[in-house]
Amino acid sequence: MFKVVTIILIALVVFMDLAVPVVAQTRPPTGTAKVSKVVVDSPDVDTEGSGCRAGTVGVAFSKDNAFMTVLFSDFEAAVGPQAGKARKRAFCRVNVTMSSPGWAFDVNSVDFRGYVNIVKGVNASLVTRWKWVDSKGNDIEGKGNAHKILKGPFEDDFLLHKDGETSDGEKSVCQKASAKLQISLSATLTPTTSSQSGLIQGSSADAAFGELMNLSWRKC
């Protein structure tokens, strides 16, 4: 477990270093924003997918708080003779509790990347969603999703960019200061025959599925 966590932390640093710098804007001072808890749903919640295990998802703010990175280090889907124990669908839902006293943020956009290797006749579907949930489990304004479909033959890393739905007023943004950010990721392979092979896993750059969230902060 220690080795997995170490790999996640190293990959988080690499992934954030690759981010494109953004125009300076109002953000909390360094060290103000912290991730206090990361909880993943049990794989048993999703009977058709492989899920993700505790300790295999890493979440961190960049040093300047411009980005938040989420890495899924044990997430893959596979079909075909070499699939092994991997299933055709992988799914993971993560609830992130954060601490940023006096500050709250919206997710302006998300860059999502991974690796796909599929032969002709196999389709790959990748979906990521994010939303805010209050202490009672109710959704709060401000969410987003990204969906990408690839058709074989295809073998390469992929990158998907999507803008998020942001809040209109200060009140709706600031209520997120005490809310959880829920992030879900699913990958599905659909072959034409059982002999066709396909694989979805982390990108070659950081050996994990990565989501880079561009944040817009407001002082509350």
- Domain boundaries defined on the chain: 2-219
pLDDT confidence of residue 29: 83
Residue 113 pLDDT more than 80?
Answer: yes
Q: What would the mean pLDDT of 81-86 be, rounded to a whole number?
A: 90
User: How many whole angstroms separate alpha carbon 61 and alpha carbon 68?
Assistant: 4
For the chain, how long is the longest CA-to-CA vector?
56
Radius of gyration of the chain, Cα coordinates, nearest whole angstrom: 18
Comparing CA positions, the residue from 174, 181, 168 lying closest to residue 103 is: 174
pLDDT confidence of residue 123: 98
pLDDT digits (tens, 9 = 90+) for 122-170: 999 999 899 999 888 889 888 888 888 999 999 999 888 888 776 665 5
Q: What would the mean pLDDT of 91-113 be, rounded to a whole number?
A: 90
For 161, phi then psi, to 5°, come to -115, 135
pLDDT confidence of residue 81: 94
Helix (H) or strand (E) holding 5: helix 2-17
pLDDT digits (tens, 9 = 90+) for 65-81: 999 999 998 889 999 99
Q: Distance of CA 78 to CAs 17, 149, 200, Å?
A: 30, 15, 6
The DSSP output letter for 163 is E
What confidence tier does 204 reach under pLDDT thresholds 50, 70, 90? low
CB contact burial 80-99 (16+ within 10 A = b; e otherwise): beebeebbbbbbbbbebebe
User: How many whole angstroms separate alpha carbon 212 and alpha carbon 12?
Assistant: 10
Comparing CA positions, the residue from 180, 177, 179, 198 lying closest to residue 188 is: 198
Residue 206 pLDDT more than 70?
Answer: no
pLDDT confidence of residue 55: 85
Contact 126, 203 (CB under 8 A): no
Q: What would the mean pLDDT of 32-45 be, rounded to a whole number?
A: 75
The model carries a pTM of: 0.79
